[in-house]
Structure 1
Amino acid sequence: MSVRSRFSNKAPVSHERASLLLLLIAFVDASGRGLFLAGATFFYTQVVGLSSVQVGIGLGLAGLCGLVCTVPIGRIADRLGAARVLAVLQVWRMLGFLIYPFVNDFYAFLLIACFIGCVEQAVWPIIQTLVGAAVKSDAYVKTMSKVAIVRNVAYMIAAGVFAIVVGVASSPNAVIGLLIANALAFLISAVLLVVAKLPQAAAREQVESALAAVAAHPLKNLNFLSLSLCNGILSLHQAVMTIAVPLWLLTKTQAPKALIGLILVVNGIMAITLQLMFSKRGNEVVHAARKHLYAGITLALSCAMVAMTTADQSPYLAAGILLLGCVVMTFGELWQCAGAWGISYYLAPAENRAYYLSVYALGANLMTVVFPAILPIAVVERGAAGWIGLGIVFALAGIATPLLARAASRQRAGSRSDDLRTQGAEA
């Protein structure tokens, strides 16, 4: 008897109820995480007393731990069940955040940051795996859009709660209370995952053919790895929006500083209100890949718009161009997210879905770890040329994605045909 079957005593809930449960789990998870993200800098610098360099080193090493651990955790999720593994990860995160209040020096911070970092990046691919098993295939991208919307709403609420708490009682105890609330959210999420009987992916089958063997291991699949890299490049919009654009606005233009907050608010509102619309017709690899093409073009256009702003311009002209450029960048963000969900899901075999989705996430995770430190030097300090260069990289990633997706689709179709021929010969 398999490990998974020993824990399958009751029938899974319906697709509709499973979808609602996953939305609730996503909201609870993001609410807690959002509380911490909003107050992380305050906690690190004002409560623990770390320098910005120490924080950067700790978070960088934590990110590297996540890169190393994400794929093995995905493989474990395929064997033991995504819901069970995600529940364990939530308990792991809960323990880490309960220990955080006792951190009082750099080395303790480094240890706990890496402890949490080992599982942090693995959570999102496993949530995607659960959604893939819980809903019908043609509803996957739409459901992922709803999950993203719910998470964005939770993040905005959490940011508001943090602002109120710190405004009323800007003391270490108030921030520590938010850390405990974050840990509690992870505990609630874990309990929901244990109590709810969510549908599981198909059991892993033995791979017979050589072509199918390659398809079963995405780390050996060059087309899939290239798609992961292209998605990672396109996902840089987040670092560009939150790091490069604010730095450019503050150091290279006369635009009002308050514009930074307005840009982030507009981005959040657009992500919540438009994600479903941008996710339509994303239920096939070819359509999802086309969304990445649109993302690459619009992100390149937004970079060109930012490059048009200078220190000699009127503050209001620069502000208008930057705001419009960030609106265009948000269009690219919405297309990138929808395309990534479709490409990764429809190229992933059901029996290896968590493994595939974890590998696909490597591209974006790598960019998240590496590029925040590079963007200021490679883009902002190089002026307009840096923005044009970044735009070209975005465009090339967008153009390459449909070509790579078609090749990956043909490879996947070939592996399926090989499996059918093998099964026919055995019969």
Structure 2
Amino acid sequence: MLVSPPRDRAVRLFLVGMFVDALGNGLYVPLTLLFIQRVTGLPMPVVGLGMTLAATVALAANPVAGVLIDRFGTRTVLVGTYVVRALGFALYPLVDGFGPLVAVAAVIAAADRAYYPAASSHVAVLARGEGRDRLYAMQATARNVAFGLGGLLSAAAVSLAGQTGFALIAGLNAVSFATAAACLLLPRRTENPRGTGALEPGKPRERGGYRRVLADRPFMGLVTAEGAFTLTHLLLPVGMPLYVVPVLGASPALLGLLYTVNTLLVAAGQLPVRRWQRRARRTHAMALAGAVFVLACGLYAATALLPAGPPRIGGLLAAILVFTLAELLHTAPAATLAAGTAPPALRGRYLAVHQMTWSVGQVVAPVAFSALAGAAPPLMWAAPAALLAVACAGLPRLSLRLPAEAVAAPVAAGSGRAHGPAA
């Protein structure tokens, strides 16, 4: 039986904050390098080098965030990431050199990296069982809708206000982060201020830090599998531009259409797909998502065999539809499985390690996909698909070693209902 996440003020304000945060990101992300170049006035090569250095420095933020989450609690760290990013974007118009650029960009990037384990941990604080699956799906829906709207507003700001539009985007992004922080500060506390370990009375505090996480072989197996999923997810923003325009000879405008289709369907499909998955074991749901991803990669590679023009465009649209379905099938089960596997006292560290797949993937994917596309374009689709096939083959066995309550939503005896709020 479907169970909604806790309908309290904290959850509603959390979702509002997610929406406002994503709206601000949607203003900025589609124009990242151009935005920074126009706001700072620095040459584009300097901006590119500065952003690369900043992203590399920010890799350390994930493990640090895990420690802070377990020590101070999810909401405290999440608010901190919002405040830091609000200050960072407010400072961008004052940047006038390479050193200040790297400093400001690194601080923002570090807060970005810390945000993901903090947000994922906060969902785990607010809900359990099927309610947690639903809240993860609602979060993804809110973020995708807001990100799409932010992209439209960004284009309007630049088109109507020119150079002033870029400064406006910086200011609006700072305001969006400040508003999201305020949303989290309004409700009464829903977690112990000393960290996530005190959330479940009667359970002893776990010790061992990251050594305990790395020694958890079933969880690290899950992280390894998630790494293959992450690389496949990154095919859309990183790999597809390397393939659609230079290899297939399609118009760059087609990329915008494909991204729009993906964003709209992800926003619309999260909750229906989650309802369809609610009786499935989460490891098996991930394996099914992997199989659909492999099919999507095959369709993308096969579009090169189609005649140019409408047949090839139709092939790409079919591939993006299948790829989007795979994303929808993977998102909620993967997030809930990771959160459910983690002991409450070390949840921050566990989810920080889980989120490192994205931090590392975003560094590796551009280099790896560029090299594969340059050697033989089909390899760019075949290599991630092969890794994913191996990972998915091991997921059913892994389900026997992970906590049973993480693999399938626990059901109260005689009620048919999954556990509700965690706080």
CA change 1:116–1:258 in 2 (3 A) is: closer
2:152 match: 160
Amino acid at match of 1:332: A
**1:40-86 CA deviation, whole Å, 9 max, x = no partner?**
22223334345555444333333333321212222222221211222
Q: 2:383 aligns with which of 371, 382, 389?
A: 389
Confirm or deny that 1:378 pairs with 2:393.
Answer: no
1:399 alignment partner, SS class: helix
CA change 1:281–1:253 in 2 (3 A) is: closer
TM-score by length of structure 2 reads 0.85
Confirm or deny that 1:92 pairs with 2:84.
Answer: yes
CA change 1:269–1:128 in 2 (3 A) is: same
With CA pairs under 8 Å and 6+ residues apart, which has the higher RCO, 1 or 2? 2
2:261 match: 266
Amino acid at match of 1:293: A
Question: How far is the alpha carbon of 1:280 from its aligned partner?
Answer: 3.1
1:117 match: 109
Confirm or deny that 1:181 pairs with 2:176.
Answer: no
1:141 match: 133
1:141 and 1:282 in contact (8 A); partners too: no
CA–CA separation in structure 2 for the residues paired with 1:311 and 1:48: 44
Confirm or deny that 1:339 pairs with 2:339.
Answer: no
2:8 alignment partner, SS class: helix
**1:83-139 CA deviation, whole Å, 9 max, x = no partner?**
122212211111111111111233321111111122211112211222222224320
Amino acid at match of 1:392: A
Structure 1 ranges of 4+ moved more than 4 A: 49-53, 204-208, 212-216, 281-284, 410-413
1:310 match: 304
Confirm or deny that 1:40 pairs with 2:35.
Answer: no
CA change 1:84–1:385 in 2 (3 A) is: closer
Amino acid at match of 1:182: N
**1:19-38 CA deviation, whole Å, 9 max, x = no partner?**
21111111111112221213
1:237 and 1:329 in contact (8 A); partners too: no
User: Aligned runs of 1:134-283 on 2, under 5 Å?
Assistant: 134-171=126-163, 173-200=164-191, 201-203=196-198, 206-207=204-205, 217-280=212-275
1:78 match: 70
CA–CA separation in structure 1 for the residues paired with 2:274 and 2:246: 36
* 5+ long unaligned stretches in structure 1: 1-13, 414-427
TM-score by length of structure 1 reads 0.84
Question: How far is the alpha carbon of 1:245 from its aligned partner?
Answer: 1.6
1:279 alignment partner, SS class: helix
CA RMSD of aligned residues (A): 2.7
CA–CA separation in structure 2 for the residues paired with 1:311 and 1:111: 47
2:416 match: none
1:408 alignment partner, SS class: coil
1:416 match: none
Confirm or deny that 1:351 pairs with 2:345.
Answer: yes
2:420 match: none
**1:196-248 CA deviation, whole Å, 9 max, x = no partner?**
2242145176458xxx8699831332331231232132123442112322221
CA change 1:302–1:52 in 2 (3 A) is: farther
CA change 1:344–1:115 in 2 (3 A) is: same
1:19 match: 11
Matched-pair identity in %: 26
CA–CA separation in structure 2 for the residues paired with 1:397 and 1:379: 23
CA–CA separation in structure 1 for the residues paired with 2:276 and 2:210: 25
Question: How far is the alpha carbon of 1:387 from its aligned partner?
Answer: 2.3
CA change 1:312–1:349 in 2 (3 A) is: closer
Confirm or deny that 1:409 pairs with 2:400.
Answer: no
